[in-house]
Amino acid sequence: MTDKDPGAEPEEVRGTESEAAADAAHEPGVGESIYPHTNTFYTTPKLNQGVPPDPVFIRILSGIEITIGVALFAGIIFGVMYQVLGRYFPAISWVGAGELALLSMIAMTFITTGYLVGRNGHIVLEMFDEMLAGTRLFVALRVISAVIMVATSLALAYEAWVKIETEWGRLSAAMHVPVGVLYIFALVGFVSAAIHSSFKIPYANRPERKLDIGEMEG
């Protein structure tokens, strides 16, 4: 005969509670997310281990894009914060602050297109990747997708070139900046996307580089 703690719960009660907790954990929507796991440099530090290094030209191009992108991001922050200060201190308010933030956001979206395309940071429908992984059809799929991306990027670059001329005479409302300036960023971004995609074609049989957020730290 053993002594039991008077404050201890009966074993049957504890067993029932543990079973109830286990059942609740397996219920749909409890403790589980409907969104799949996303690998980044912070969740998987060796995310791009084994991936062949980019050519020197691609590294230089990516560095230029990220530098311009960081400067434009700073323009967004400055414009938004200046708007906030202008509400508390009307004397320093500037009508162009909001427009600066907006134009910087659009330009940053365009200029980082190539960088994101080269590292699978753009929107992709990976319908057959897992199904064909490790086969020659997977290599063919990557080549075909890269060729389509090159053709699409060149078509968009041509449209941006046309827009530069047609929209140059139209000025923004507050800062009076030619709207055609935005299409210069679009032209550079889409040409860069075509270059990044074309470099994927000869390396379609090798591991593909993923977006590394650590590379974008200023």
Whether 41 contacts 119, CB under 8 Å: no
pLDDT, mean over the chain: 77
Question: Is the model's pLDDT at 217 over the cut of 50?
Answer: no
Please, which pLDDT band fits residue 212 given cuts at 50, 70 and 90?
low
Q: How far is CA 99 from CA 76, 79, 93, in A?
A: 9, 8, 13
For the chain, give every domain's residue range. 53-206
How far apart CA 169 and CA 161 sit, in angstroms, is 14
% of the chain with per-residue pLDDT over 70: 61
More confident residue, 25 or 193: 193
Per-residue pLDDT reduced to its tens digit, 7-58: 554 544 444 545 554 554 444 544 566 666 665 545 554 555 656 677 888 8
Q: How far is CA 72 from CA 54, 75, 76, 88, 168, in A?
A: 25, 5, 6, 25, 20
For 17, half-sphere exposure in the C-beta direction (CA atoms, 13 angstrom radius) is 6
Whether 97 contacts 86, CB under 8 Å: yes
Does the pTM of the predicted model rise above 0.75? no
DSSP class of residue 178?
A: B
By CB atoms closer than 10 A (0-12, 13-18, 19+), residue 38 is exposed
Within 10 angstroms of residue 44's Cβ, the number of other Cβ atoms is 14
Per-residue pLDDT reduced to its tens digit, 100-140: 999 999 999 999 999 888 877 666 656 655 665 666 677 78
